[in-house]
Structure 1
Amino acid sequence: MTEHWDAIRRHWRLLGSPLCPPPEAVAAYERELSLQSVDVVLLGVTPELAGLGRTMLAIDESTAMISGIWPGDTASRKAVIGNWLELPLGDESAGAVIGDGCLSALDSSVARQALLAEIARVLKSDGRAALRAYASPQVPDDLQEVRALTLSGGVATFHELKWRIAMACAGGDPDRAIPVRAILDAFDALFADREALAATTGWEMPVIGTIDVYANSQTVYSFAPAATLVEEASRFFDRVRLAPTGTYGLAERCPLLVLKSPRRR
């Protein structure tokens, strides 16, 4: 798992939306949670989110990600090594918890619910959380239709294509989970000629090549539908809703899961 994130870190500068939150998605966190005067816990070290909150504590299990993409500790923010499922925080100690794509970094409904339970544990009674999700449609896309949409110019970025392929391939699994190696295999089957894909779409070859970090990875992602995420979160929060994050490519599948009123176990 740590090797996977080290590989991601080495290619970070080549990534873009929807994998990384564009400015309009970053603004959605502030719009939904009003974070200016709040002490924020960030799941991961997403650099685009590092400026949010009065203070910020970022938690990531990968030293490579912290050293490679975190913009640096300051008087008001720092990053520490930690496990999201065992957050190094006391009960009811956090004013807000945010994360970008963190639910998809987990491989099952059980793991997602463990994270949601942990967020509920650390949040103050009036605290709130927002997690930008990568949510599959209820009916999975057909891979050939994804290919046709791409070649007709209907896919904005290569990273959007990766997620469309991943969501389509994960559709047959109960947890909507998929080994990342299977995303690469499906891509190669659809687009055997990468130079032709680059010529058709205008995407640069090094950007297309970022998918090769999946080749030797044991990591499994999940892409649960939005309705499933709401249902899972409602077991731990009394107030759960989805909020839009913008108009960038695939934004309709990247809502904020907004969580308030944590339930106490």
Structure 2
Amino acid sequence: MTEHWNAIRKHWQLLGSPLRPPAEVVETYDRELDLARSHVVMLGVTPELAGLGATITSVDESAAMIAGIWPGDTDTRKAMQGDWFDLPFGDASVEALIGDGCLSVIGAAELRRKLFASIARALKSDGRAGIRLYASPETPDDPKDVRAMVLSGGVSTFHELKWRVAMTAIGGAPDYIIPVTGILEQFDALFPDRAELSARTGWELPIIGTIDVYRKSSVVYSFAPAAAPIEEARTFFGDVRLASTGTYGLAERCPLLVLRSPRRRD
């Protein structure tokens, strides 16, 4: 897993929306969670979100990601190594918490529930959290339709295509889990000629080549429909809803899951 995130770190500057949050996503976090005067805890080191809140503390288990992606500590922001499932903060001590795509990278439903429990424990009674989802549609896309959409110019970025391909490759897997090697295999089956893909879309070959970080990786992702984390979160929060994050490519599958009124568990 460490090798996987090291590879992501090395290719970070080549990544784009929806993997990296565009400005309208940043604005959504700020608006929906009223972050301006809050101390914010962030799961991960997403640099686009590092300026949110009055102050922000980022928590990531990977020292390499902190060293390679975090824009640096200042008087108002810092990053620390830590475990999302056992957040290094006292009970009911966190005003606001954010995370971008983090439910997809942890995998199974059991781990999503464990993360919700960790967040609920740390949040103040009037605290709030927002996690942007990568949610597959209730009715899966046909892979042939995805290929046709791309070649006709209907997909805005290669990274949008990557998530669309991933969502077609899940099949009937429990918890909508897919090994990232399966994403690469599906992509290669749909687009065996990368030069043609580049010529038809204008995407540069190094951008397309970022998908090769999945080769030989042991990491699994999950792209559950939004209804699944909503139901799971309601065990731990009294107020659970979705907010739109904008109009960028695939935004309709990347809503913000907003969590309030944490339930205390013994």
With the shorter chain as reference, the TM-score category is: over 0.9
The residue type paired with residue 173 of structure 2 is D
- Matched residue count: 265
Runs of 4+ in 1 over 2 A off after TM superposition: none
**Map of 1:27 onto structure 2:** 27
Deviation for aligned residue 1:48: 0.2
The answer for the alignment partner of 2:55 in structure 1 is: 55
1:260 offset after TM fit, Å?
0.2
Tell me the SS of whatever aligns to 2:131: strand
- 1:83 alignment counterpart: 83
- What's 1:69 paired with? 69
Aligned residue for 2:164?
A: 164
> CA shift at 1:213, angstroms?
0.2
Correspondence for 1:213: 213
Equivalents in 2 of 1:36, 1:86: separation in Å?
26
Deviations 1:144-186, CA, capped at 9 Å, x for gaps? 1111111111111000000001111124112000000000010
Q: Structure 1 residues 137 and 193, CA, compared in 2 at 3 Å: closer, same or farther? A: same
* Match runs of 1:172-251 below 5 Å: 172-251=172-251
**Structure 1 contact 139–171 (Cα < 8 Å) conserved:** no
Structure 2 counterpart of 1:111: 111
Partner of 1:131: 131
In 2, Cα distance between equivalents of 1:35 and 1:234: 23
Q: Secondary structure at the match of 1:96?
A: strand
Q: Retained in 2: the 8 A contact 1:57–1:80?
A: yes
Shift of 1:258: 0.2
The residue type equivalent to 1:74 in the other structure is T
Q: Distance in 2 between matches of 1:144 and 1:258?
A: 34
Q: C-alpha root-mean-square deviation of aligned residues, in Å? A: 0.7
Match of 1:152 in 2: 152
TM-score normalised by length of structure 2: 0.98
- AA aligned to 2:62 is S
Query: Residue in 2 aligned with 1:40?
Result: 40
For residues 91-130 of structure 1, what are the alpha-carbon distances to aligned partners after superposition, in whole Å with 9 as ceiling and x for unaligned? 1110001000000011100011110110000000000000
Amino acid in structure 2 at the alignment position of 1:99: G
Distance 2:263 2:27 in 1: 27
Mark the runs of 5 or more structure 2 residues left unpaired by the alignment. Answer: none
**Amino acid aligned to 1:54:** A
Sequence identity (%): 67
Please, what TM-score do these two structures have when normalized by structure 1?
Answer: 0.99
> Equivalent residue of 1:175, what SS?
helix
Q: How far apart, in 2, do the equivalents of 1:128 and 1:194 lie?
A: 43
Distance (whole Å) between structure 1 residues aligned to residue 40 and residue 82 of structure 2: 15
